Amino acid sequence: MSKEIITEASAFTFRYLGEFQLRGHASTAPVYELIGLTEQLSAETLDFINRFQIAILNFENENYQLALKALTQLYYENFKDGPTEYYLALCKAKTFTNN
């Protein structure tokens, strides 16, 4: 989803997943996940999403240790969350190669 759509859909909560190069596109684009209607989401879900966002920002700023710590905690809370698992694996690889 584009930032324009997300801005117009203020009743919904989206989760930023990062910048990815999509098939057929030369440059990267931000990718968002639609979580649901904000008013129907629990405080725990909103907190999880906020902490995920902070972890991704740390990852994108190459603060891999901070991202790893946050993503590890998020993974223990919800091991079925694919984006958390994806970034956790990337952080482990980054911190392993940087040591």
Query: With 80 as the cut, is the pLDDT of residue 62 above it?
Result: yes
User: Nearest 5°: phi and psi at 63?
Assistant: -90, 70
Confidence at residue 6, expressed as pLDDT on a 0 to 100 scale? 74
For 72, half-sphere exposure in the C-beta direction (CA atoms, 13 angstrom radius) is 8
pLDDT digits (tens, 9 = 90+) for 72-88: 999 999 989 999 999 99
Contact between residue 86 and residue 74 where contact means Cβ atoms under 8 Å apart: no
Q: Where are the domains of the chain?
A: 3-98
* Helix (H) / strand (E) containing 75: helix 64-77
Confidence at residue 99, expressed as pLDDT on a 0 to 100 scale? 57
Report which of 37, 32, 33, 34 is spatially closest to residue 11, judged by C-alpha positions.
Answer: 37
Confidence at residue 98, expressed as pLDDT on a 0 to 100 scale? 65
Mean pLDDT, rounded, for 5-30: 87
Q: pLDDT-based confidence at 95, cuts 50/70/90?
A: confident
- Tell me 79's DSSP state: T
